Chain A
Amino acid sequence: MQKLGLGQAVNQALREEMRRDPRVFIAGEGVGVGIHNSPMLPTDGLVEEFGPGRVKDTPVSEAAIAGLAVGAAEAGLRPVVEIMFNPFFTLASDMIVNHAAKLRYLSGGKSSFPLVVRMKSGAGFGAGCQHSHNLEAWAAHCPGLKVVMPSTPADAKGLLKSAIRDENPVVFIENMGLYFTPGPVPQEEYLTPIGKADIKRQGRDVTVVTWSSMLWVAFGAAEKLAGQGIEMEIVDLRTLTPLDKETILASVKKTGRLVVLHEATRTGGFAGEIAAVVMEDGFPSLKAPFRRVTGPDIPVPASPPLERFYIPDEEQLIAAVKEIVETGG
């Protein structure tokens, strides 16, 4: 099987969908000719294959980029636009939140807006808080948007292809740290369904729900805990909205314990939503209190020791798991 970084997997998905469907075009800042050149980046080489008519470099105009997607999608094209970094979502958010997400509803179901907004996210580059703020919970709070955050290259490819074919607006958030770690990606055509979580590791003692780059933190913690006789089940959410409640509830029913792990800050983070779902629909399954492991409520700092402090790590997850396994019956 081929091994690709997540950015390369995104690149392959874009190529395949652009070859398959002439309605698909991409637009954004530096998607054709960018300031960084690396075969690991998602839009590398696309302008060479598809030309500047379908790979549109835009001015630094996030509202116009997002509006371009909204208008073109309603008109029948399949825009895939890039907002360079997740914090710049704020500049594009009127078009995404007030328009992409709402215009179908406002039309009484007459119009649809099949568009994808790709954004890079994640701390770990010393880039500081205006490039590294994880805002997935904002997008997930908007009815009418689907929010996808892949953790593996294979999922990224299959989910992006599904997102491009989806009739609804999809916010697709890629953790940059995952661009540079190759993983297996099937060569043949496949789609990964949006709205379906994936159990990445089976275990009997505790359910850890996570997504995006934090999956790899969970894997590391799971290996260490296995050595101590604690078997972690890892639910990779993959899609925040629509939320796959069934998979979460079934796993919690099996293990009786729940920890949610995300890189985004704590208060108002999506862990709270998952906790609420389990309190409402899975409370009798719980043998121990719920715990969350998240970034602290601070802007992402730039200095390496500060940034490392921000990003949730294996030790924090192990401590949370042990606490509820040992005290929770």
Chain B
Amino acid sequence: MQISADKKIEMLQTMILTRKFEDALAELCKIEGKIPGMMILCTGQEAVGSGACAALEPLDVIITNHRSHNHLLAKGADPGELMAEIFCKSTGCNKGKSGTLHLAVPEVCAPCTTTVVGGSLPIAVGQAFAQQYRQQDRVTVCFFGDGAADEGSFHESLNLASLWQLPVIFVCENNLYAGAQRFDEHARVKDLAQRASAYAMPGRIVDGNDVLAVYQATMEARQSAVTGGGPTLIECKTYRCRGHGETDQQLYQPRDEIEKWQKKCPIPRLSDELVSQGLITPDGLKEMETRAGDIVDQAVRFAEESPYPLPEEALDDVFA
């Protein structure tokens, strides 16, 4: 499949924006009282969400998980409203109710970020059912990690999606760690994609640090889903370069393993390729980085200057 230069540049932009966004968060979350709660970042995994979302149409849906920032930015969520929500401010996309962990952006068809591991799968099945029920040419992409593939909800969801041939793409971001457990400490299979065969569903293995490969696999799965071919499981092999969260000291991750994977960073991998192919100039790349930095600076400023919600606003939005 030929991928246009514009599409490649779009994916690079998304990855760079995510990296800048999360690099800022990595610093900000160290400042006492700045950002409440946990901070879960995806450094090194930006290719998965950026590639998968680039293959989607605006009305396609994504359902994501606790490591969501990249997925949401890639789907087109407003960085300022996301940042303000991460700061738990009233101008955040969820008025401070969700914080960094449960960001919901229904405006860009990203209605649910769930922190219950495996929680995204049954909901994605429901979204895909609605798409099928209404005979829409749309798909739902469900993002989850390798740990979620050990939950019962994974198996129930894959079975039901396959049984009903629902237009859902299960994107497993296998970053080799579920909490402190290395992949081979929590699963006996070599590849989670193997589990697709248990549900008579195609299972694809993709280099999760190759954004173009993720894009291509998602395009193919999408094409299959909207033409009645049912769901696909795509296992994106990647690596969690940071801890589970920012307070995790990664004592269980070998130093050389981390360094090995840092060298496989998906961003220079694509930008070097685009520069060498003459699709962007080194100056153009710098400009892209500057622009992403400006967007993030502006988002942080917006979040910092925004007020907290009033305490009694806690009572709003329980019921419609």
Contact = CB atoms under 8 A, between A and B. Distances in A.
B232 to A, nearest CB: 18
Interface in A28-43: none
A-B residue pairs, 7 tightest by C-beta: A67-B122, A71-B126, A75-B130, A167-B320, A109-B317, A108-B94, A108-B95
B144 to A, nearest CB: 13
A67 B123 contact: yes
B157 A67 contact: yes
B130 A112 contact: no
Nearest to B102: A106
Interface stretch (A97-105, A198-206, A283-291): A97-105
B159 interface: yes
B55 interface: no
Contact of B123 (A71, A77, A143): A71
Contacts of A77: 129-130, 133-134
B98 interface: yes
B251 interface: no
B160 interface: yes
B318 interface: yes
Given A59-B160, A103-B104, A73 B317 contact: no
Contacts of A59: 156, 159-160, 163
Interface of B: 61, 63, 92-98, 102, 104, 106-107, 111-112, 114, 116, 119, 121-131, 133-134, 140, 152-153, 156-157, 159-160, 163-164, 316-320
A107 B320 contact: no
Given A67-B126, A106-B94, 6 more contacts: A59-B156, A75-B126, A75-B131, A77-B133, A111-B111, A112-B320
A267 B152 CA distance: 31
Contacts of B114: 98-99, 103
Nearest to B163: A59
B94 A67 contact: no
B125 A68 contact: yes
Nearest to B116: A98
A64 B116 contact: no
Interface in A78-107: 79, 94-95, 98-99, 103-107
A69 interface: yes
B122 A64 contact: yes
Nearest to B121: A67
B122 A168 contact: no
14 contacts: A59-B163, A63-B152, A63-B157, A64-B160, A67-B119, A67-B153, A67-B157, A68-B125, A70-B123, A70-B126, A71-B122, A98-B119, A105-B97, A109-B317
Given A61-B160, A71-B63, A143-B318, A110 B127 contact: no
A66 interface: yes
A64 B159 contact: yes
B125 A64 contact: yes
A70 B160 contact: no
